[in-house]
Chain A
Amino acid sequence: MKTTTPDQVEIRLPRRAEFVRVARMAACAVASQLDFTYDVVKDVELAVGEACANAVEHVAEEGCNEILVRFGIDPTQLTIEVLDRGQGFDPNEAGGGREQDWDDPGGLGLGLVVIRELMDDMVIECDEATGTCVRMVKYRSR
């Protein structure tokens, strides 16, 4: 884990399922440093796990072998970005959750439903040049 500024923490992970747990552990460690309750810390952990699982399960592009997880900490909020180099997906189509193909064990729609419920804000940005970014925010002392 590398601290790039006093208020940012970044980790780079191989885009493989077994490393999602590392991102979750980092999320717990960062959120625990802030004024969040235990339940909120666990919510942040699950949301980060879902975003990383999404990157692992639903990004199939060649050469996309890494996930970047960036935690931004300021006095008002914790912002977490999960970035990959994949072409992404249509969040409008994927976000419904309950209309998904239930045989899909990745559960893309379910994962997004979970993130939206657990975090205060979520935005998905898909860009051919830079890849996909899931940006999540949890407000502090709210």
Chain B
Amino acid sequence: MTTPLKIASRTEGKDTAILSLTGEVDVANAGRVRDAGLKLISDGIKHLIIDLSPTDYMDSTGLGTLVGLHKRLVESEGELIVAGPQPRVERLFEITGLTQVFRIFDDVDAALKEVRG
């Protein structure tokens, strides 16, 4: 039995990628998100946009995973950017104070626009 989660990634230019998480991110599958993010970082990605618009559920394990990826990106002068979280997922960021850690945009296009400057 596994929690449904579909992970898709695409790159934009040399150092930006979008990781889309469709379904539920929880203790059973957050490791897959971590692995996908670390792979992109090892490939030279500095700006990692996490598309949460198709994410129906996320728990603190998922949040912790995003924080870990963000730390690694910051070490290489990059960052993890959150895009399009649904209200319940966005509330989780607010409850935990992580709105002070991540930049959160309404959607991927807005995040990409910010990254491109």
Q: Is the CB of B71 within 8 A of A42?
A: no
Which one of B28, B31, B64 lies within 8 Å of A107 (CB-CB)? B64
Taking the nearest CB of chain A, how far is it from the CB of B86, in angstroms? 11
Which one of B26, B67, B96 lies within 8 Å of A113 (CB-CB)? B96
- Can you name the residue of chain A whose Cβ is closest to the Cβ of B34? A105
List A contacts of B28 (CB < 8 A): 17-18, 20-21
Docked pose: A113 CA to B30 CA in angstroms: 19
Q: Is the CB of B88 within 8 A of A56?
A: no
- Can you name the residue of chain B whose Cβ is closest to the Cβ of A20? B27
Number of B interface residues, CB 8 Å?
Answer: 25
Q: Is the CB of A53 within 8 A of B1?
A: no
Q: Give A87-129 interface residues, CB cut-off 8 Å to B.
A: 97-98, 102-107, 110-111, 113-114, 117-118
Q: Is the CB of B96 within 8 A of A105?
A: no
Q: Is the CB of A50 within 8 A of B3?
A: no
Docked pose: A4 CA to B81 CA in angstroms: 47
Q: Which residue, of B2, B31, B61, has the highest number of chain A Cβ atoms within 10 A?
A: B61
Taking the nearest CB of chain B, how far is it from the CB of A128, in angstroms? 26
Docked pose: A26 CA to B57 CA in angstroms: 16
Contact with B along A15-52 (1 / 0, CB 8 A): 00111111000000000000000010010001001101
Q: Which residue, of B27, B65, B67, has the highest number of chain A Cβ atoms within 10 A?
A: B27
Which one of B1, B27, B97 lies within 8 Å of A106 (CB-CB)? B27
Docked pose: A19 CA to B95 CA in angstroms: 25
Docked pose: A113 CA to B95 CA in angstroms: 8
Taking the nearest CB of chain A, how far is it from the CB of B68, in angstroms? 5
Residues of A within 8 A of B (CB): 17-22, 39, 42, 46, 49-50, 52-53, 56-57, 97-98, 102-107, 110-111, 113-114, 117-118
Instruction: Give 3 closest A-B pairs by Cβ, nearest first.
Output: A107-B64, A110-B60, A53-B27
Residues of B within 8 A of A (CB): 1-3, 24, 26-28, 30-31, 34, 57, 59-61, 63-65, 67-68, 71, 88, 92, 95-97
